[in-house]
Amino acid sequence: MLKTNVTTSVLSSGYDAGVEVAKKLGDVNDSKLNFLFTSCVMDQKQIVSGVKSVLGDKAKIIGCTSSGAIMTQEGLIDNADGFAGLMNFSSKDLTVGIACSPKKGDARELGKKIAKQAVLDAGINKVPSYFYMVASPKEEEAYLKGIEDVIGTVPFFGGSAADNTVEGNWSIICGDNVFSDGCAVAFFYDNNECVTEYTGAYNETDDVGIITKVKDNRCLVEIDGKKALEKYAEWRGMPIDKLMGGNLLVETITSPLGVKDILGNVTAIRHPMAGNDDLTMNIGNNLEEKTAVIRMEATVDELIKSNSNTLRSLNSKLTKDPAGYLLVHCGGRKLGIGERMNEVYEEVKSVVGNTPFIMVFTFGEYGYSDHSANTCGGLMLSFTGFSK
């Protein structure tokens, strides 16, 4: 039987925070994995050292920095001087292999290397049941392709590292390794259920266009042959100068772009990050020319309510009682919700009850739905439940 336990600390010392979250676990039998999510203002290596001083050098740890806060049964934990959250998995029937690397060379080739190392770490020469991925918020699609080159299409979940100011102060954590640019994975070998509900929970509008030009995968140059920012401003009925620079990131939280997977089962959200002087738009994930892009909409009320709706949909897919939840929530959505994040906590609690959970706020979210391909997106929810 799988058991999970979630602990937190708001100590500002990285080492002390690591010690505290590990000690709060108490006696853990058959511990197999620890998800660690932390504040970017802290010394990440010291946090890991603190955790391992209690759990031992062989403890498997993976995670990342979270944008501004984490959320657990204790509520929204957003201490400005630092925070740490640990989610422990224990089960005699569970095997986990972890692996990682800072960015070196081609991202797809690096994904292959990491996948092979994770299999070796698990000591089981077969395809995992499911896997978790964390990466820096760029090239996620290439890492994923490399991993799938090795293990094929296996259900996955997770999200990118994040910081508080979108300045690159994020960290990926894997074992003893801490780095800002690269990828890490955890391969799970188990018979228990792992179900991910992956959604933006936005509403489609009738504003649809064909992507006619993309530069460097993530710069949207043209929609329907017109400058992308000009087209988007036309859809919104807004002056272009209100969408320049970082204004675009904020203005598009409630009205981003979406692209459908080939089966139509997932509409992956593409978050415009910046409006450029040449009227192009920097986008948070990859785009493809000659595919349709849709303007999406959601009110702040809907962004808040989507948390309980997504969890109910997730629970409907579990045939056994949940042992715990890992909830990956976009940091951009959190920014848009603002001071109403306590309402998100209430929405989550209304569904999960007393089941352990941890919510991390990321700059990219990963998942799948109803036989879709594994997908990377932004402004999304990747909510994963694990059965007992």
pLDDT digits (tens, 9 = 90+) for 181-231: 999 999 999 988 999 999 999 999 999 999 999 999 999 999 999 999 999
Give yes or no for residue 264 having a pLDDT over 90. no
Residue 287 and residue 220 in contact, taking contact as beta carbons nearer than 8 Å? yes
Q: Residue range 360-385: average pLDDT?
A: 94
Q: How confident is the model at residue 370 (pLDDT cuts 50, 70, 90)?
A: confident
Task: For residue 9, list its beta bridge partners.
Answer: 84
The answer to whether the pTM exceeds 0.85 is yes
> 318: how many CB neighbours lie within 10 A of its CB?
16
pLDDT, residue 182, reads 98
Name, in order, each residue with C-beta under 8 angstroms of 104's C-beta and a sequence gap of 6 or more: 110, 182
Q: With beta carbons less than 8 A apart as the criterion, state whether 322 and 151 touch.
A: no
Helix (H) or strand (E) holding 183: strand 182-189
